Structure 1
Amino acid sequence: MTTHGPVLPIWSCGGCDLPWPCPTRRRELRAEYADAPVSLALYLGAYLVQAAEDMPWAPAGALHRRFIGWARQPPDAPQRSTATVPAEPDRHERQQPG
């Protein structure tokens, strides 16, 4: 049994005090449901509904990403960032005559 279970009604992790499901619990759940992704989604969906009832002030999109969104990504996929990266200058622009 994991020590990384949810502490209700604040939905923090009992093992590390991060928002639940924490990275450790996510790894455990991926391993536990490796051959049953639909079952994992149903399991997490039930927790999402419960968390939404406990935290009505939390944005629905944030709760969805926290409870279900991560499960659809491969474990080693980089997280999407909202930061923008400036475009690299064209090679002709970099080699201006001096």
Structure 2
Amino acid sequence: MPIWNCGGCDLPWPCPTRKRELRAEYADAPVSLALYLGSYLVQATEDMPCTPAGVLHRRFLGWTREADRSTPAVQHRSTATMPATWHRDEPEQPV
């Protein structure tokens, strides 16, 4: 691991094959995937101290967001407002 290359193809880890495997394995758990890869990012920064942090971030974590580009990262609430309280003598307002 100190050189962080794939044992099968000798490309930088995670290689394209491992990325596909990780996406499939963590398809329903993207936060778990990020935590898993984040732990490897920490180890890699110790093993490769001269590598810029941005390069390592893209390599270990940046690719995980590429598949999610079609869906928004944050779901926004409706902007409709409701009165804080409703009194019986006030007419009911449509929602």
Aligned counterpart, 1:91: none
Q: Which amino acid aligns with 2:53?
A: A
1:64 has 2:57 as partner: yes
Give the structure with the higher percent strand.
1
Write out aligned runs for 1:75-90 (5 A). none
1:36 has 2:5 as partner: no
Q: CA deviation at 1:17?
A: 0.2
Q: CA deviation at 1:37?
A: 0.1
Aligned counterpart, 2:9: 16
Gaps of 5+ in 2: 71-95
Which of 12, 18, 36 is the equivalent residue of 1:25? Answer: 18
Q: CA deviation at 1:73?
A: 1.0
Query: Max radius of gyration: which structure?
Result: 2
Q: Which amino acid aligns with 2:40?
A: Y
Paired with 1:27 and 1:11, the residues of 2 have a C-alpha distance of: 18
Paired with 1:72 and 1:32, the residues of 2 have a C-alpha distance of: 15
- Which structure 1 residue ranges, 4+ long, deviate > 6 Å from structure 2? none
Percent identity (aligned): 80
Gaps of 5+ in 1: 1-7, 78-98
The CA RMSD measured in Å over matched residues stands at 1.7
Q: Which amino acid aligns with 2:36?
A: Y
